[in-house]
Amino acid sequence: MSSSNKGGRGKLKASKLVSQSQKASLQFIVGQIAHFLKSLQVIWSCSSNAPVYVSAFLEYLAVEVLELSGNVARAIRRIELF
């Protein structure tokens, strides 16, 4: 039996590919971080959630650093940081 909702009539729509970054709504690329974690010789195995967690943590750190630097720039009344 087909698992479509159309009752076996018509064609199935192709599902759209969604990246792990889009699923987790992250700006950092989860696939590259997963590749980096697998290429490390220190880690023998890693779960599928590990690169998502690491990319979320790195994104959080980047947001915090940018927010603090923006606050400092506003305090000294500069538009550009560098």
pLDDT digits (tens, 9 = 90+) for 28-75: 888 898 888 888 877 777 888 989 999 999 999 999 999 998 888 888
Q: 8: which residues sit within 8 A by CB, 6+ positions away?
A: 1, 2
Residue 42 within any structural domain of the chain: no
Residue 53 within any structural domain of the chain: yes
Distance CA 79, CA 25 (A): 29
Distance CA 73, CA 69 (A): 6
Domain count, the chain: 1
Residue 5 within any structural domain of the chain: no
Residue 52 within any structural domain of the chain: yes
Q: Tell if the pTM clears 0.85, that is, is over it.
A: no
Exposure string of 31-44, with b = 16+ CB inside 10 Å and e = fewer, is eebbeeeeeeeeee
Residue 20 within any structural domain of the chain: no
pLDDT at 81 over 80: no
Do residues 46 and 37 touch, judged by C-beta distance below 8 A? yes
Parent domain of 54: 48-81
